[in-house]
Amino acid sequence: MSKNKSNKTNAEVAHRGVYSTLKTLVHLIAFVQFSYAIYYDYTYVHAKQLEHQHKLPAAKPFGGKFKFLTFIDAVLQAVYFAICLVNDFFGSNEVSANNLPLIRKLKDFLLASLAFPIAMNVGITFWTLMAIDRELVFPKALDLIFPWWLNHIMHTNIMIFISLEMFTTFRVYPNRRTGLGVLSTFMILYLIWIHIIRYIGGFWVYPILDVLNIYTRIIFFLIILAFTIVLYLFGELVNNLIWTRELKLISRKTK
């Protein structure tokens, strides 16, 4: 009986070891691909090459790459998965809400408040507008300098890898007011930023804003803000459904 128990324990330890290794591998792949996408986009994708043939907001120098939420989100995802890697080696992935290392707390908070809702926002909004009229968000002329694989890393893989992280790694969501406060502040600051670009640079970052009047533009911005908040709540709901047993266990321990 004791031998069977020992064999079962060894098998569980081995299983946890393989699972931990696979998670670290996923974190590494995510970090490398997002980092390379940022490097490639920043170094080789210059819409100014198309400025004489096509009037594109991307060709305008003011704001650089950081005028696009897609690029900002790619940086955010690279930073997030770098933090995941550091946590894998020096932090903890244990199911616990107490005595967690700072890097683990930062990782959990960053996913909940920014990494998940922003990635899903960028991906869903981009592909929805592409389906309606790609000229409103990603003019066909950009295909000449923006390769298809980079497009999918920036707009598809961000959703895939952050969803994998949601389903494979436990976390306790932060206080809703705090999480939503950080997310809302981020989005409001970005909306202010694109208005600064409009005022100083004289152009809208996204072509869709050129076809909207002031009233429909305000409605569009409010919808984007509301959608982002819904994505935060959706992430919280999904997390609670996936990790129901673990969250209940922690709740009993903290009472």
The pLDDT value given to residue 18: 75
Q: Are 39 and 150 in contact (CB under 8 A)?
A: no
Residue-level pLDDT, tens digit, the chain, 255 residues:
555 555 546 555 555 667 788 999 999 999 999 999 999 999 988 766 555 445 566 566 788 899 999 999 999 999 999 999 999 999 998 888 778 999 999 999 999 999 999 999 999 999 999 999 988 888 888 888 889 999 999 999 999 999 999 999 999 999 999 999 999 999 999 999 999 999 998 889 988 898 999 999 999 999 999 999 999 999 999 999 999 998 888 877 665
Greatest CA separation found in the chain? 79
Place of tokens 């406060």: 181
The pLDDT value given to residue 194: 95
The pLDDT value given to residue 203: 87
The pLDDT value given to residue 132: 92
Q: Which residues of 159-195 are buried (b: 16+ CB within 10 A; e: fewer)?
A: bebbbebbeebbbbbbeeeebbebbeebbeebeebbe
Residues contacting residue 18 through CB under 8 Å, at least 6 positions apart:
none
CA dist., res. 102 & res. 231, Å (int): 26
CA dist., res. 177 & res. 186, Å (int): 14
CA dist., res. 166 & res. 107, Å (int): 12
Burial of residue 111 (number of CB atoms within 10 Å: 0-12, 13-18, 19+): buried
For residue 54, count other CB atoms closer than 10 A to its CB: 15
The pLDDT value given to residue 5: 53
Q: Are 110 and 49 in contact (CB under 8 A)?
A: no
The pLDDT value given to residue 56: 63
**How many helices (H) and strands (E) in the chain?**
9, 0
32: tokens are: 């490398």
Q: Are 150 and 45 in contact (CB under 8 A)?
A: yes
The pLDDT value given to residue 145: 85
The pLDDT value given to residue 52: 47
The pLDDT value given to residue 250: 85
